[in-house]
């Protein structure tokens, strides 16, 4: 029997990916961290991070802040990626890691649409994006949470849907708008035909979270685990390398939102997330308790939800300008 060849050295970025998957980081965070670590290595002239330390990390972050003028949020993300590299991958727990300055988080007032503007925006969407847009505004879901919905997460009898592993890995239950029950059921009828086509053609089932694929090998082929918003085409899973059906790509709705804003004459910097901001503000405007809104949005701290009360006060004109009082007098 021939001896088994010893595996070669594992590349640094592959070590980063392995460690992040072991700690169950999301794919989006993995992609972001790998991006910043790669840029750090290239910026340093391809030196290994073991040969560098605090001086190089701070110089790189200074380059990002001064030369590239990145936002504080981007600055913090790059710093978090490098600290992860040194602590979790290279095993370096050094005092300087806690001493590097981190830009303070700045809480911005969110862009919120009026009810007529939401009506105009949603009316300009087409196809499954129109249904997806109404679902986002009607439930307050993040786009990634809506796209990750499985058939089993919709409970039409109780008029609720379950968000699995939302931001921070938390589950929550939100309302299912009654006006979306029939459209969603009709949509699932079309999706089931696509699911049946995959079964007939012998395609692998959809991706399952964590180790469920090993525990229930056929669950990914079941209707219950299928995506509510599947992609019309097959794609290669970036982690397993298996060609299978993923959920709809985020850019599909983002492009339609951009076109709808332009066509509707809405003069605000609107994104998909604006629907979530509008959901929260309009709920508070209708008298919903802020704690309820906090739970629906999945916020850990009510102070995060409080930002919408500031928007509401200004929109309602509850604080009159002294100029108006002067002219009125």
Q: Is 74 exposed, middle or buried (0-12, 13-18, 19+ CB in 10 A)?
A: middle
Contact 125, 133 (CB under 8 A): yes
Q: What is the pTM of this model?
A: 0.81
Annotated active-site residue in 19, 276, 277, 282 = 276
Q: CATH assignment of 115-311, given 2.30.30.60, 1.10.443.10, 1.10.3720.10, 3.90.25.10?
A: 1.10.443.10
Span 12-99: which CATH code? 1.10.150.130
Annotated active-site residue in 167, 187, 244, 249 = 167
Contact 100, 57 (CB under 8 A): yes
Can 308 be counted among the known catalytic residues? yes
Q: The tokens 């847009």 sit on which residue?
A: 133
Can 244 be counted among the known catalytic residues? no
First to last CA, the chain: 100
Per CATH, 12-99 and 115-311 having the same topology is answered no
Can 299 be counted among the known catalytic residues? yes
Annotated active-site residue in 63, 164, 244, 273 = 273
Tokens describing residue 38: 């790669």
Q: Regarding beta strands 154-155 and 243-247, do their DSSP bridges make them parallel or antiparallel, or are they unpaired?
A: unpaired
Q: What is the pLDDT along the chain (329 residues), one digit of tens a residue?
A: 344 444 445 699 999 999 998 888 888 899 999 999 999 999 999 999 999 988 899 999 999 989 999 988 899 999 999 999 999 999 887 777 777 777 777 777 889 999 999 999 999 999 999 999 999 999 999 999 999 999 999 999 999 999 998 887 789 999 999 999 999 999 999 999 999 999 999 999 998 887 677 778 888 999 999 999 999 999 998 777 889 999 999 999 999 999 999 999 999 999 999 999 999 999 998 889 999 999 999 998 888 888 888 777 665 555 677 887 778 87
Return the SS3 of 208: coil
Domain ranges in the chain?
12-99, 115-311
Can 167 be counted among the known catalytic residues? yes
Annotated active-site residue in 17, 75, 134, 142 = 142
Contact 274, 113 (CB under 8 A): yes
- How far is it between the farthest Cα atoms of the chain? 100
Can 258 be counted among the known catalytic residues? no
- Closest by Cα among 36, 3, 10, 33 to 20: 33
Tokens describing residue 80: 């978090």
């Amino acid at each position: 029997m021939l001896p088994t060849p010893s595996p070669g050295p594992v590349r640094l970025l592959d070590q980063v990916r392995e460690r992040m998957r072991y700690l169950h980081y999301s794919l989006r965070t993995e992609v972001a961290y790998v991006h910043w670590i790669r840029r750090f290595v290239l910026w340093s002239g391809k030196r290994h991070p073991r040969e560098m330390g605090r001086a190089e990390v701070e110089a790189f972050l200074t380059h990002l802040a001064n030369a590239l003028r990145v936002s504080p949020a981007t600055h913090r993300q790059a710093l978090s990626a490098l600290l992860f590299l040194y602590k979790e991958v290279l095993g370096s727990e050094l005092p300087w890691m806690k001493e590097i300055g981190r830009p303070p988080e700045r809480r911005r007032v969110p862009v919120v649409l009026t009810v007529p503007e939401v009506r105009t925006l949603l009316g300009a969407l087409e196809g499954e994006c129109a249904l997806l847009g109404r679902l986002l505004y009607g439930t307050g879901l993040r786009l990634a949470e809506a796209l990750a919905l499985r058939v089993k997460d919709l409970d039409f009898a109780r008029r609720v849907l379950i968000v699995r592993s939302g931001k921070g890995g938390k589950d929550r239950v939100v309302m299912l708008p009654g006006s979306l029950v029939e459209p969603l059921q009709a949509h699932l009828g079309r999706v089931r035909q696509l699911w049946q086509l995959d079964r007939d053609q012998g395609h692998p089932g959809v991706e399952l979270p964590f180790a469920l694929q090993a525990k229930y090998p056929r669950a990914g082929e079941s209707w219950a685990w299928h995506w509510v918003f599947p992609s019309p085409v097959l794609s290669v899973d970036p982690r397993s390398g298996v060609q299978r059906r993923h959920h709809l790509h985020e850019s599909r709705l983002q492009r339609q939102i951009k076109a709808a804003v332009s066509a509707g004459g809405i003069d605000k910097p609107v994104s998909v997330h604006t629907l979530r901001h509008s959901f929260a503000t309009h709920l508070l405007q209708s008298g919903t308790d802020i704690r309820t809104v906090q739970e629906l949005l999945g916020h850990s701290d009510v102070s995060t939800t409080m930002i919408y009360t500031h928007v509401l006060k200004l929109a309602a004109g509850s604080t009159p300008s002294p100029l108006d009082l002067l002219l009125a007098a």
